[in-house]
Structure 1
Amino acid sequence: MFKQVYRKTKLALISSMLILPTNLMAEEIQHSISTPQLNAQTYILMDYHSGTVLAALNPDQRQYPASLTKMMTSYVIGDALKQGKINNSDIVTVGESAWGKNFPGSSKMFLNLNQQVSVADLHRGIVIVSGNDACVAMAEYIAGSEKNFIDTMNRYVADFNLKNTHFETVHGLDSEGQYSSARDMAIIGSHIIRDLPDEYKIYAEKEFTFNKIKQPNRNGLLWDKTIHVDGMKTGHTDKAGYNLVASAVNKDNMRLISVVMGVPTYKGREIESKKLLQWGFANFDTFKALEAGKIVLEQKVYYGDSSKVELGVLQDAFITLPKGRQADVKARYELENKYLEAPLTKGQTVGKVIYQLDGKTIADINLQAMNDVKEGSFFGKAWDWLVLTVKNFFN
C-alpha cells in the first residue's frame, strides 16, 4: 500500500486581508452592536451575498406563511420557464377551481371561467397582486393538479434544506399542516434572486392591470425613496398576522433580505422591515473577498500525475463585518489531511480557511481543488510512498 492516513494538521496563514469568506457567526460579528426592537412574533435579517444572519428573533419558529407561500409557487413557475418546460407566451384556460369567484374576500386577479390568459400575465398576477386564482390556474397548467404542484413545492423545500417549512396549498390560505419560518423564507428569497433573476424583476413592479382592473403591489416599501427596496412579497391571514419579505440594496451593492412575520398591523410590517434594513446598512459592510477561480495557494500532492494542486473557490466568496473592521480580520488555512493525495477532483473540498476577529472565530469556508489530479504511474507512486514514509518517520 502506497497510501497512508495522516493526522489532521493546522497550517497558519495570518493575514490582515480578506482572502476566503463564508457565512459568519452572527453573535460574534455583532459584538456590541445592539439589535433594533421590533413588534413582530419572529424576524430575521440576512446578508444575501454572504448568508450572514445579522439579527434574528425566533427565526426557526413555525408560523402560518400566508401569501409568502406564493414565493415558492413563483419559484416553481420560474424554474419551469428556465428549463423550457413552459413559455411565457403559453395560453392557459381558466378552469372551475381557478375561477376568481371561488376566492371571496381574498386577493385575486379576477379570472373568469374559461378565460384564456398567458403564463406571463398569470405569473404577474401571482407575484404583484397575490392572486390566489392565478396560483391555482398555473398549478393545474404545469402539474395537472394542485396536489401534484404542491408535491413539487415540497421537493424544493427538501432541495433547499428548509427545516421548518411544509406547504399544503399553492396560495397560502391557512391550513393546519402548512407552516414556514423567517429563516426559511429568507432562504427561499435568496434562491429566487440568485437562481431566477428574470423572475425577480417582477417583484419590483408596482402595479398590474388585468381585466381592466388596476391593482397595486402590496409591498409599500417599493415606493419608499429613502431605501432601495426592489422586492419581495407580502402576506396576511387572521392566523398569520401581517408578514413581509423585503430585499434592498445600497450604493455599494450590498443586498439584505429581511423577513418579519406575525406583525399586528398592515403598515407595521413595512415599518418593522424598514427598521431592520436601515439598521443593517448602517452597521455592516459586505466585501467580495475572492473571485471564483482565483488561486489562493498551491499545495504539494502525492501519488498524482501532477506534483501540485491549486486551491481556491469555485464561486465568489463574500464576508460581512461591522463597518470599519475589514483590516482587522486574520485568516489561516487548515487542511483535512497533513499531506494531499491523488486522486483529487475539481471542486473537491480539501480543507478550509478560518477567519478571526478580535481573537474569535467568525467564519470559515471550504477550500477546494481548482483542478483534477489523477493517480500517477506505478513508479511515481512508489517514490512518493518512500518520501512519505521517511517524512512520517521523522515526524
Structure 2
Amino acid sequence: MKKLLAASILALATAYPTTAANPPFDTPAPIAYLEDLSSGAVLYAKDADRRIPPASMAKMMTVYVAFDLIKKGELKLDQTIEVRPETWKKWHSQGSTMFLAVGEKPKVEDLLNGIVTLSGNDACVVLAEGIAGTEEAFTNLMNIQAKKLGLANSQFGTSNGWPDEGRTFVTARDLAHLAKATIQDHPQLYKQFYSRTSYTWGKTLGAGADITQGNRDPLLGRVAGADGLKTGHTEEAGYGFTGSAEQNGRRLVMVVAGLDSYGGRAEESVRFMEWGFRAWKSRPIVKKGRKVGDVAVQGGGSSEVGVVAPRDLAATIPAGTSPEMQGKIVYQGPVKAPIKAGDHVADLVIDSAGMPQQVLPLVAESDVGEAGFFRRIWLGLTGLFGA
C-alpha cells in the first residue's frame, strides 16, 4: 500500500527574515478566488467551495472536452457540423448567440470561436451534438472529464450553462482548477482561441451585413498579460468571471461570482487581478534541473531515484517581505517502477507562518527500470524478513 511520505529537506530563509501575512483585500463579490499557478499558492478565497450555478462559465468545460478530443486526433478543427433546424429553433434567440443559421455547416474552429469569444449558446449545442450526437450524451463526456480533473463539487447538465433547475453546479475553486487544466494541458489551443477580442459571424436581417461581436472578457486590453477565459451571467447566477493573466513568469487565475452588474464585474475583475500582481511577488526557490532530494522506489532496479526541479521553481510571498520558509518533499510512495526521467513523482511543499502553503512539482532525475529476476527475489526476502 502506498503511503503519503514526507522528508524535510531545506530551510529557505534569507539573512534577514521578516514576518509575513496575507496582504489585505476586500471585495463585494460574494464569491472570489485567486491562485498563483506558478507556485500553487491560493492568494485569496472567499466562499470558494460553495456550489453555484456557473452560467456561461460552464462553457469552459465544453471547450476543454473539445480541446482534449482535438489533442487525441478524434476531432478536427476543419471538421464541419450542420446546424439542425430543431437546434436553431431552440437556441437562435436564447441568451447569447453566434447567429448560426439553419442548415449552415460551420467548422469546429468556427464553433469554438463562437463559444469562447461570443459565448454563443447555439454554438455550444451544435458542437455538442456534432461530437456526441445529442447534448445529453455530450454532458456525460463533460462529467467524465470533470471527474478526471478532480472537480469534486461540479456537475454539468447542459453544454452552455443555461439554467436547468440546479442540475448544473460548480464552485469557484473548481472553475479555477478547470482554467488551470485548460491552460496547462492545451497551451496552443488556449492561446489560439481564448485571447481573441472579437469575432465575426452571421448576417443582419434585411441588409445582410456582417455581425461582429466583442469578447466580454473584462481583463483583455485592461490588464497586462490577460489572455482568457470566460464570463457568465444569468438572473439566477448574477455576473461572474473566470480569468487569467501572466506577467513576468507569474500566471494568476481568478474567479468572481454573484456580482449584481456588468460594470461591477468588470471593475472587480480588474481590481482583483491587479492586486494579485501588485501585492504579491515571486521568490526563486530552486533552479531548473537542480536535484532536491531522493524518493523511495518500489520494485525497481534501484531503491530510490533523485527528484529535480522541472523548471525554475519560485514561491509567492507578500511584496516587501522576505519570510523564513521551510520546504519538504511529499509523495505517494514508495513510487512504483518503472519510472521515466521527467515523470512527476513528488512535490516540493513550501510552508511559512501566516502564509498559504505552496506545492511545486518535482520530477524523476533518471529512468528506473523494473527489478530483474534476482533483485525481485532479494526484495521479496528483505520484505519478508524486514532486513
TM-score normalized by structure 1? 0.79
Larger Rg: 1
What letter corresponds to residue 216 of structure 2 in structure 1?
R
Give the counterpart of 2:315 among 301, 310, 319: 319
Matched, 1:181 2:171: yes
2:206 maps to what in 1? none
Is the CA contact 2:307–2:346 (under 8 Å) kept in the aligned structure 1?
no
1:204 aligns with 2:195: yes
- Structure 1 residues 140, 371: closer, same or farther in 2, change over 3 A? same
Say if 1:168 and 1:178, in contact at 8 Å, map to a contact too: yes
| 1:220 alignment counterpart | 218
Match of 2:327 among 328, 331, 355: 331
Distance 1:361 1:257 in 2: 16
For 1:48 and 1:39, locate their aligned partners in 2 and report how far apart those are by CA, in whole Å.
24
Q: Which residue of 2 aligns with 1:274?
A: 270
Number of residue pairs the alignment of both structures matches: 373
Kindly tell me: are residues 343 and 91 of structure 1, through their superposed partners in 2, closer, same or farther at Cα, counting changes over 3 Å? closer
Q: Distance in 2 between matches of 1:118 and 1:341?
A: 44
Q: Indicate how the Cα distance of structure 1 residues 148 and 357 shifts in structure 2: closer, same or farther if over 3 A, else same.
A: same
Q: Which moved more, 1:282-291 or 1:35-44?
A: 282-291
Give the residue type in structure 2 aligned to 1:132.
Answer: N
1:239 maps to what in 2?
A: 236
Work out the CA distance in 1 between the residues paired with 2:51 and 2:359. 29
Partner of 2:280: 284
Q: Structure 1 pair 200/373, CA: closer, same or farther in 2 (3 Å)?
A: closer
Q: Residue 220 of structure 1: SS of its match in structure 2?
A: coil
Alignment partner, residue 123 of structure 1 = 112
- Given candidates 69, 80, 94, the residue that maps to 2:58 is 69
Change in CA separation of 1:324 and 1:137 when aligned onto 2, cut-off 3 Å = same
Deviation at 1:31, TM superposition (A): 4.6
SS at match of 2:212: strand
Q: 2:338, 2:159 → 1: CA distance?
A: 46
User: Would the aligned equivalents of 2:31 and 2:256 in 1 still touch at CA under 8 Å?
Assistant: yes
Deviations 1:319-359 (A, max 9, x none): 3222355673333557989x999987767898765534359
Q: Does structure 2 conserve the Cα–Cα contact (< 8 Å) formed by 1:36 and 1:275?
A: no
Match of 1:45 among 34, 44, 49: 34
1:116 shift after superposition: 1.8
2 CA distance for matches of 1:198 and 1:60? 30
Matched, 1:230 2:227: yes
Q: Flag the 1:236–1:305 CA change in 2: closer, same or farther, 3 A.
A: closer
Change (3 A) 1:128 1:30: farther
Distance (Å, rounded) in 1 between the aligned partners of 2:44 and 2:139: 31
The 5-angstrom pairing of residues 1-395 of structure 1 reads 12-16=8-12, 31-99=20-88, 102-176=91-165, 177-201=167-191, 202-211=193-202, 212-224=210-222, 226-250=223-247, 252-287=248-283, 289-290=285-286, 294-297=290-293, 305-306=301-302, 309-312=305-308, 317-325=313-321, 328-332=324-328, 353-358=348-353, 362-363=357-358, 369-373=364-368
The alpha-carbon distance between structure 1 residues 236 and 312, as it changes in their structure 2 partners (threshold 3 A), is same
Question: How large is the Cα RMSD of the aligned pairs?
Answer: 4.0
Q: Secondary structure at the match of 1:168?
A: coil
Q: Distance in 1 between matches of 2:295 and 2:61?
A: 43
Distance in 1, Cα, partners of 2:118 & 2:296: 58
- Counterpart Cα distance in 1 of 2:81 and 2:382: 69
Output one character per residue of 1:154-199: Cα deviation in whole Å (capped at 9) or x when no partner: 1111011112211111111111211111111111111111112233
Find the residue that maps to 2:219 and give its secondary structure: helix
Q: Is the 8 A contact 1:97 1:136 kept in 2?
A: no
Could you say if the C-alpha distance between residues 198 and 325 of structure 1 is closer, same or farther in structure 2, counting changes exceeding 3 Å? Answer: same
> Cα 1:294–1:97, aligned 2, differ >3 Å: closer, same or farther?
farther
| Alpha carbons 2:59, 2:161 under 8 Å: kept | yes
Contact 1:314 1:370 in 2 (8 A): no
Residue 114 of structure 1: CA displacement? 0.6
Counterpart CA distance in 1 for 2:189 and 2:338 is: 41
Question: Residues 336 and 203 of structure 1: is their aligned pair in 2 closer, same or farther, counting only changes over 3 Å?
Answer: closer
Aligned-residue sequence identity (percent) comes to: 33
Change (3 A) 1:77 1:369: closer
User: Does structure 2 conserve the Cα–Cα contact (< 8 Å) formed by 1:343 and 1:375?
Assistant: yes
Q: 5+ residue gaps in structure 2?
A: 203-209
Q: Per-residue displacement from partner, 1:199-223 (whole Å, max 9, x unpaired)?
A: 3222211111112111111123213
- Residue type matched to 1:223 in 2? G
